[in-house]
């Protein structure tokens, strides 16, 4: 499946180049409707990858929003979350 190929390339790049402890903060979020309903397997694997890299859970966030779609209405309802994480 082409999606896993893209995911694996992303994962390999991150493992080789991105520090997951210290000053870097990573934030991913997704909903459970529309396009986002396809994301859980990728985010589950991403969680495992970060765990294997001993990522600091305070600096790596992957959050699922039940009932949210891949659209501006859903994004605007939760934009405060990454902004607070980024500026705290």
The one-digit pLDDT tens for each residue of the chain (88 residues) are 566 778 788 878 877 887 767 778 889 999 999 999 988 998 998 899 888 888 888 888 999 999 999 999 999 999 999 999 888 7
**What predicted TM-score, i.e. pTM, was given to this entire model?**
0.80
27-51 burial, b for 16+ CB within 10 Å, e for fewer?
A: ebbbbeeeebeebeebbeebeebbe
10 lies in a domain?
A: no
Measured distance CA(88)–CA(72) in Å, rounded: 24
pLDDT of residue 9: 86
Q: Is residue 14 part of a domain?
A: no
At 20, which helix (H) or strand (E)? Answer: none
11 falls within a domain: no
Radius of gyration, CA atoms only, the chain: 14
Answer yes or no: is 38 within a domain.
yes
The tally of domains found in the chain comes to 1
Residue 17 placed within a domain: no
Domain that holds residue 58: 22-87
Q: Is residue 9 part of a domain?
A: no
pLDDT at residue 29, rounded to an integer: 94
12 belongs to a structural domain: no
Closest CA to 64 of 12, 21, 27: 27
**Element containing residue 86 per DSSP (H, E):** helix 80-87
The reported pLDDT for the residue numbered 1 is 53
């Amino acid at each position: 499946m082409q999606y896993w190929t893209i995911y694996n390339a992303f994962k390999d790049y991150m493992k080789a180049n991105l520090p997951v402890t210290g000053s870097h903060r990573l934030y991913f979020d997704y909903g459970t409707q529309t396009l986002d309903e396809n994301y859980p397997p990728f985010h589950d694997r991403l969680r495992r990858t970060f765990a294997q890299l001993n990522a600091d859970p305070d600096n790596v966030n992957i959050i699922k929003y039940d009932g949210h779609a891949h659209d501006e209405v859903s994004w605007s309802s939760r934009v405060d979350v990454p902004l607070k994480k980024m500026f705290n």
